[in-house]
Amino acid sequence: MARPEEHDAIVVGAGHNGLVAACYLARTGLKVLVLERNAYIGGAAVSRRLYRDFTYSNCSYVCSLLRPEIIRALELPRFGLQIIPYEGGCTLMGNGDHLAIYENHDALRREIARHSKRDAEAYERYSRDVMRQCKFIKPLLMRTPPDPASFRPRDIRELLFLARRFHGLGEERMYDTLRFWTMSAADFLDEYFESEIVKAHFAGSSIIGTALGPRSPGSAYVLLHHYMGDIDDTVGAWGFARGGMGAVSNALGASLQASGGSIRSSAAVARILVRGGRAGGVVLADGEQIAAPLVISNLDVRRTFLETMSAEDLPDEFLRQVRNFKIRGSSGKLNIALDGLPRFPAIPAGAPCSRGDMHVTDTLEMMERAYDDWKEGRWSRAPYIDMLIPSQLDPTMAPDGKHYMSVFVQYCPYALADGAWTDAKRRQFGDTVIETIARHSPNFKDLILHAEIRTPWDIENEVGLTEGNIFQGELTMDQLLFNRPIPGYAQYRTPVRGVYLCGSSTHPGGGVMGAPGANAARTVLEDLGRAH
């Protein structure tokens, strides 16, 4: 039964972007209700207790990209968000050696020089060039992409802004930027480095969450996407959220409630209502109707339009484009409770380089072959692994003396060539990963108390991300900027007035960044005539 409109806006899904959007709206005095399907908020930014007193960041695991302007504007530290920076990082090699990453510049140089003197020199050039690209892109994250096919003054203004910024780079840098956006990570790294392990280490972030290999053109941009947090001058670098990634969502939730917004969990939205060609509210799975003139969907673009809206409310051409939006599951995740700290003989116990992200790979070729497996519909036989033991720096994650390990795995397909995922296949996938790690840590297997194994299929079912894609859509050139998610609909608005998108399907894409949520809220407020 419909009640009188007591909400100005409904946000569908309490992922971090939904919460960010809700916070910004609530702060202007709008009455905002966030509806979450699960019993807990956070979407893919959650802390779960799935085994005794261990806390798992069981989806996203690193807090690096969250925009500092959002942290400040929503006063997240006041609401309990605390970020503990990594102390280093490393890549473990098959031959027992490793490449360590240090915060200290000279130490890092010495370590790279251990593998190649020339690469230590090249690293200066590399980090300068990457940072330059980051500086160019960073301001674009919090802006609405212009529609190049439009003649509206706003779009033309924004295009000119981009053109001027681009022009400001100077001729040489403009060409570098053009090339950077279009090349493969492998080609990009080949232009700097000779050592396989150095290239493999830096290429890691070009494939995380992505159905591309390091040799796929466009993967250099993905590499950058993960760097975006790196140069952040306030919070700084990559880090863990104290208490797990759920701490981000909880801080956002608290900030929202302090601004007068409300959240209902265990309230799955079945349908977004359209009345007279505009948003009318939502219907929950249990049939309850909630009216509101604005509906902002944090669900990915496919889920929003194909599963929660009726085809008759949307143009055919638009629906065709939605179906063509690429959302591919390519990543798996293991969350492991450990009885103690595993030993990695390659690196000294407790070394700073073990107190950050540890990768397992040797060469670009290994990573590319891992991708070839995915293309054939099987998980990588020698997967790329990005693992962390947050409990080393955050004692709240595991009981005394015990540890929680997050293991991100690339590649793992959503659909297997030989039929559906089964428990047995999931276990085999887990074993592949555990064996890969065990080759670098002799006591690792003996320490395992519990392991949660998550395939893209599991992530889809639990979190609601289509195919378990962590970015709500591939970060390929055809799906970035004004193409994200649909050309002509890249400005958070949809064909239905009053319905907006605020998830990672929109510009600037995924990672726990919050920018899509903030941008969407700004668009909503503009449409309400409440621009800041």
Partner 1 sequence: MAAADAGGGFDCIVIGGGHNGLVCATLLARGGRSVALFEANDLLGGAAATREFAAGFRVSACAHLLHSMPAALQRELRLQSYGFATAATGMASTALVADGAALAIGAADLAAADAAAYARYDARMRRLAAALAPMLSRAPPRLGTRRWSELAPLLELGWRVRRLGARDMRELLRIAGMNVYDLLEENFESAALKGALALDAVLGANLGPRSPGSVLTLLHRLAGECAAGAAGLTQPLGGMGGLCDALARAARAAGVTIRTSSPVARIEVEADRASGVVLEGGERIAAGAVISSADPKTTFLHLLGARHLDAGFVRRVTHFRSRGLAAKLHLALDRAPQFTGLIPGREAGRLLIAPSLQYIERAYNHAKYGEYSQAPVMEITVPTINDPGLAPAGGHVLSAIVQYAPYSLKGGWELQRGGFADLAIDTIARYAPGLRRSIVASELLSPPDLEREFRISGGHWHHGDMALDQFWMVRPVPGAAQYRTPLDGLFLCGAGCHPGGGVVGAAGRNAARQVLQQAA
Interface residues with partner 1 (CB under 8 A) are 148-150, 167, 170-172, 174-175, 178-180, 182-183, 187, 190-191, 212, 215-218, 324, 326, 365, 368-369, 372, 375, 476-478, 482-483, 487-488
Phi, psi of 96 (to 5 degrees): 90, -10
DSSP secondary structure, 61-116, as one string: -----S-HHHHHHTTTGGGT--EEE--EEEEE-TTS-EEEEESSHHHHHHHHHHH-
Instruction: Pull the structure tokens for residue 415.
Output: 């659909």
Nearer to partner 1, 210 or 472 (CB): 210
Nearer to partner 1, 305 or 482 (CB): 482
CB of 502 to partner 1, least distance (A): 22
CB of 315 to partner 1, least distance (A): 12
CB of 464 to partner 1, least distance (A): 24
CB of 302 to partner 1, least distance (A): 14
CB of 133 to partner 1, least distance (A): 13
CB of 96 to partner 1, least distance (A): 24
CB of 428 to partner 1, least distance (A): 23
User: Among 297, 254, 289, which residue's Cα sits nearest to residue 78?
Assistant: 254
Residue 305 CA to residue 295 CA, distance in Å, equals 13
Residue 436 CA to residue 423 CA, distance in Å, equals 20
Nearer to partner 1, 110 or 167 (CB): 167
Nearer to partner 1, 302 or 440 (CB): 302
Rg (CA), the chain: 23
CB of 99 to partner 1, least distance (A): 22
CB of 200 to partner 1, least distance (A): 15
Which residue's entry shows tokens 């840590």? 441
Residue 222 CA to residue 227 CA, distance in Å, equals 9
CB of 440 to partner 1, least distance (A): 24
Residues 335 and 451: beta-carbon distance below 8 Å: yes
Nearest-10 Cα torsion for 352, 353, 358, 360? -150
Q: What is the 3-state secondary structure (H, E, C) of 239-302?
A: EEECCCCHHHHHHHHHHHHHCCCEEECCCCEEEEEEECCEEEEEEECCCCEEECCEEEECCCHH
Helix, strand, or coil (residue 54): strand
Nearer to partner 1, 406 or 476 (CB): 476
How many other CB atoms are found less than 10 A from the CB of residue 289?
Answer: 14
Residue 493 CA to residue 522 CA, distance in Å, equals 11
Nearer to partner 1, 218 or 510 (CB): 218
DSSP secondary structure, 128-175, as one string: HHHHHHHHHHHHHHTSPPP-TT---HHHHHHHHHHHHHHHTT-HHHHH
Nearer to partner 1, 219 or 392 (CB): 219
Residues 330 and 413: beta-carbon distance below 8 Å: yes
Residues 6+ apart with CB under 8 A from 28: 525, 530
CA 461 to chain centre: 18
Nearer to partner 1, 78 or 179 (CB): 179
Residues 19 and 41: beta-carbon distance below 8 Å: yes
Instruction: Pull the structure tokens for residue 476.
Output: 């390929």
Nearer to partner 1, 180 or 404 (CB): 180
CB of 506 to partner 1, least distance (A): 15
Residue 244 CA to residue 20 CA, distance in Å, equals 18
CB of 8 to partner 1, least distance (A): 32
Nearer to partner 1, 159 or 268 (CB): 159
CB of 178 to partner 1, least distance (A): 6
Q: Which residues pair with 386 in a beta bridge?
A: 359, 408
Nearer to partner 1, 186 or 524 (CB): 186
Nearer to partner 1, 174 or 231 (CB): 174
468: left (phi over 0), alpha (psi -120 to 50) or beta: left
Nearer to partner 1, 323 or 530 (CB): 323
